[in-house]
Amino acid sequence: MRIFRHLRDLPATLQGAAVAIGNFDGVHRGHRAVIAEAGQLAHAHGRPWAVLTFEPHPRNLFRPGDPPFRLTLLRAKARFIAEIGVDFLVALRFDAAFASLSADEFIRHVLIEGFRAGQVVAGYDFVFGKGRAGNCELLLRAGRALGFDVTAVHAVRDKAGEVLSSSRARDALRRGDVAAAAAILGCAPEIEGRVMRGEARGRTLGFPTANISLRDHLRPAGGVYAVRAAIEDESKLEGEPLWRDGVANIGRRPTFGGEVEVLEVFLFDFAGDLYGRRLRVRLIEHLRRERTFDGIDSLRAQIAEDSLRARRILTAS
């Protein structure tokens, strides 16, 4: 899949695409329905299959004081979209100038002049343009006038009839309900980042950890998780990631007076050097909340107990 950050870079061979539009944070099952609909139209009409998204997420501009909330940063979002089979992704920079475009200007500059879109697909609740003035009804009217087709995809619901949404996935993760989040996302939730140097306390405890900054990732419920992790450039045959079992802690490490939240991952039966490598960490089950221990020995004993429990869960899953 090709990735573009500017429409001016889009070659003529990719214009006329069937374009799925949205923020697609998490690329959950509802998002995948929108993207798949664009794919069906692309194949039926012999068009390129495209996804248009926005980076950073518009909420970063309009509500800069909000706590981190992203389910997927751009790298992970692009990977999930590529796995669906999309031909190309356009991730336009969402800044004050872009936010000031009226709905009509968005249609003209982005969809007509930029994409020369043949079909436009969006979720039923998609809004766009200054003041969120544009919606699917406006897209339909513009499409009739300007020569592109529009499809608004209905909400995707779970077995209980609840709409699948990024906000529901976020709420589930904040509660530590990994299973509920995974049911919405269609896979285990992930945190991805580059391993940074820490204070090497895990090594002295006998449980060396890979430390990853949470950056703009949503903060799941703090505490200990059974996890699976994939190391960048380490794969099985045919390029499939090699997932290693482990246990991880998300939090501030209160026993040592930590103030910054970090993800610490201990990979079972692994002795390699991970500094500077990128790690994808899948949260499989929340084991317990983070807490303060009265000394190193009690902390070491609890880590050993957490590791044993995580091994059992991961072996059974």
What confidence score (pLDDT) does residue 207 get? Answer: 82
Does a structural domain hold residue 231? Answer: yes
Q: What single string gives the DSSP state of each residue in 136-170?
A: HHHHHHHHHHHT-EEEEEPPPB-TTSPBP-HHHHH
Both 216 and 138 in a single domain? no
pLDDT band at 297 (very low <50, low <70, confident <90, very high): confident
CATH code for the domain in which residue 34 is found = 3.40.50.620
Q: What is the pLDDT of residue 46?
A: 97
Q: Are 307 and 203 within one domain?
A: yes
Whether 270 is in a domain gets the answer yes
Residue 184 counted as domain residue: no
Within a domain: 166: no
Same-domain status, 147 and 200: no
Say if 174 falls within a structural domain: no
Question: Do residues 232 and 211 lie in contact, with contact meaning Cβ atoms separated by under 8 Å?
Answer: no
User: Is residue 170 in a domain?
Assistant: no
10 Å CB burial of residue 35 (0-12, 13-18, 19+) is: buried
User: Model confidence at 300, in pLDDT bands (50, 70, 90)?
Assistant: confident
Query: Rounded to whole angstroms, how far apart are CA atoms 269 and 267?
Result: 6
**Last residue within a domain, chosen from 138, 153, 168:** 153
The pLDDT tens digits for 112-152 are 999 999 999 999 999 999 999 999 999 999 999 999 999 99
In percent, the amount of the chain with pLDDT more than 70 equals 94
Cβ atoms of 61 and 96 within 8 Å: the answer is yes
Phi (first) and psi of residue 227, to 5 degrees: -135, 165
- Say if 97 falls within a structural domain: yes
Q: Are residues 146 and 8 in the same domain?
A: yes
Range with the poorest average pLDDT among 3-17, 68-82, 187-201, 270-284:
187-201
3-state DSSP: the chain helix, strand, coil percent, rounded to 5?
Answer: 40, 30, 35
Q: Is the pLDDT of residue 204 over 80?
A: no
Q: Please state the separation of Cα 283 from the chain's center in Å.
A: 13
On whether both 193 and 273 belong to a single domain, the answer is yes
Whether 33 is in a domain gets the answer yes
Q: Which domain holds residue 202?
A: 189-316
DSSP string over 280-292 = EEEEEEEEE----
pLDDT digits (tens, 9 = 90+) for 239-292: 789 999 999 999 976 555 566 799 999 999 998 889 999 999 999 999 999 888
Predicted confidence (pLDDT) per residue in 142-188, tens digit: 999 999 999 999 999 999 999 999 999 999 999 999 999 999 999 99
pLDDT of residue 259: 61
Q: Tell me, what CATH number does 294's domain have?
A: 2.40.30.30
Number of structural domains the chain divides into: 2
